Amino acid sequence: MSKQKLIYQCQTCGHSASKWLGKCPDCGAWNSFIEEKIIASKPLKTGTGSTAVSLTDIQINKEDSRTTGIGELDRVLGGGIVSGAVVLIGGDPGIGKSTIVLQMLDGLLRNNGDDSGIALYVSGEESLKQIKLRSQRLGINNYRIKVLSETCVDTIISYVKEIKPTVLIVDSIQTVFLQDLPSAPGSVGQVRESSYQLMQLAKQTHLPVFIVGHVTKEGAIAGPRVLEHIVDTVLYFEGERGYSYRILRAVKNRFGSTNEIGVFDMREKGLCEITNPSELFLDQNSERMSGTVVVATIEGTRPLLVELQALVSRTSFGIPRRTGIGVDINRVNLLIAVLEKIGGMHLGDCDIFINVVGGLKIIEPAFDLGIISTIVSSHKNIIINKEILVFGEIGLSGEIRAVSQAEARIKEGAKIGFKEAIIPVSNLNRLNSKPEIKITGVKNIEEALKRICYS
């Protein structure tokens, strides 16, 4: 009989204590400790993997990586699904997590030419008829997709060993449980132990496993942080209410870049790929007003052109407000201080609002030049030429610093139809090929604003 241990665990962050605490010392949550009985994990029985193997003797086959048939998803995953990989997909309710995994199963089976392979979709939240209704809406009717409505992890593992699928989906990890643990499904102990059992299954049988996870109101995946350490890849499905666009972002990936994003459009028939996001985010850029500029940014290996907006107005309160949607507000405050100190502008009595059009979240420093340009444009009520794009990092002394992949940003702008790019002068000196559009190099914010806003 397994030895039991009684502890108290925080259901927000997973912190353990020997006695009940009113406030968690790690995350600060109140009344989050619940009594749980912890039982030592029982590893799956296996006869492989117990002997050390030389790195040069390990062979990799083409079958170890397969495409999903969804180009944007393959981009984020690092080229496709790797055998034995455990992928965690998190996102807000209704964002499209279940939709994308069902579309992925259909594309995976259709594009890899194995007529004998099957996929297993395990749902702990929906009945079989509910899944059928969603598949009909998506136009998916693949007989090789097996659907199982089950919440017991032991039963799921037994069924996987019986039918031997090529890929496993568990939707969601907060609904499944282990019979040996007395705690309720979704608790820290159940999520941790269930994930560990699924991870062992994936590594021992070389089965790709996709785990769908709920998120908390703060936007983090619900459950212990060890859940994100166990899996190989963590994907977040993002989207703003009121927008049909969805962004699939990798925050951890052992098989590819963690900066890649996939862009989708949620339509009646499901998620559709957006192969050229720049045109999508600039679709409403025909009428230009003050406080608007186009910035060239890089997401992973992909250059993107996005529209940045700013609104500067006199404050009605004693303390001016600083609000940013899609940008780091701390970075915005730093740039405002540079504008006041170096640029000679007086913004202490103004409310400043910054918005990235389309619901994107941009964190790279190349956005700096766009932020100060829109602030000055809105404050002075100056319309920036809509055929100009900008990018560049700004230092504390007002200098414009070089950024990476300048040529890729310029080529993307030329492809969309822009006539001029305002870039750091150090990037201009490093260009290896003749640009297709006019390039203007600037050294500091004085030169940049003179060319962007006052030309």
Record the tokens describing residue 135, joined without a space: 């598949």
- Res 48: pLDDT: 47
Coil, strand, or helix at residue 378? Answer: helix
> What burial letters (b/e) apply to 395-419, b meaning 16+ CB within 10 Å?
eeebbbebbebbeebbbbbeebebe
- Res 222: pLDDT: 67
Predicted model pTM = 0.79
- Helix-strand-coil percent breakdown of the chain, rounded to 5? 30, 30, 45
* Order of strands, sheet of 4-10, starting from the edge strand that comes earlier in the sequence: 16-17, 4-10, 33-39
Strands 119-123 and 33-39: unpaired
271 backbone dihedrals φ, ψ, rounded to 5°:
-85, 130
Q: What does the alpha-carbon distance between residue 394 and residue 369 come to, in Å, rounded to a whole number? A: 7
Coil, strand, or helix at residue 243? Answer: coil
Q: What does the alpha-carbon distance between residue 76 and residue 68 come to, in Å, rounded to a whole number? A: 11
CA 142 to chain centre: 29
Q: What does the alpha-carbon distance between residue 29 and residue 10 come to, in Å, rounded to a whole number? A: 8
Task: Give yes or no for a contact between 369 and 377, defined as CB atoms under 8 angstroms apart.
Answer: no
CA distances from 385 to 390, 418, 419, 448, 452 (A): 11, 10, 10, 14, 8
Record the tokens describing residue 260, joined without a space: 């890649």
Beta-carbon contacts of residue 350 (< 8 Å; ≥ 6 apart): 312, 313, 314, 315, 320, 379
Task: Give yes or no for a contact between 398 and 406, defined as CB atoms under 8 angstroms apart.
Answer: no
DSSP bridge partners of 90: 213, 236
Q: Is 378 exposed, middle or buried (0-12, 13-18, 19+ CB in 10 A)?
A: buried
Coil, strand, or helix at residue 329? Answer: helix
Consecutive H or E run containing 191: helix 188-205
Closest by CA to 217, choosing from 88, 92, 361, is 92
Record the tokens describing residue 80, joined without a space: 């496709």
Q: What is the mean pLDDT of each run of 10 residues along the chain (455 residues)?
A: 68 80 85 73 52 81 76 89 92 89 91 76 93 93 93 94 94 89 81 91 93 79 77 88 82 86 88 84 69 90 90 89 92 95 90 89 91 94 91 95 93 91 93 88 92 75
Q: What does the alpha-carbon distance between residue 449 and residue 439 come to, in Å, rounded to a whole number? A: 15
The 8-class DSSP code of residue 384 comes to P
Residues in the chain: 455
Q: What does the alpha-carbon distance between residue 82 and residue 163 come to, in Å, rounded to a whole number? A: 20
Q: What does the alpha-carbon distance between residue 423 and residue 406 come to, in Å, rounded to a whole number? A: 8
Task: Give yes or no for a contact between 122 and 168, defined as CB atoms under 8 angstroms apart.
Answer: yes
Helices 329-341 and 368-380, packing angle to 10 deg:
60
CA Rg, the chain, in Å? 26
Task: Give yes or no for a contact between 21 and 43, defined as CB atoms under 8 angstroms apart.
Answer: no
Coil, strand, or helix at residue 167? Answer: strand
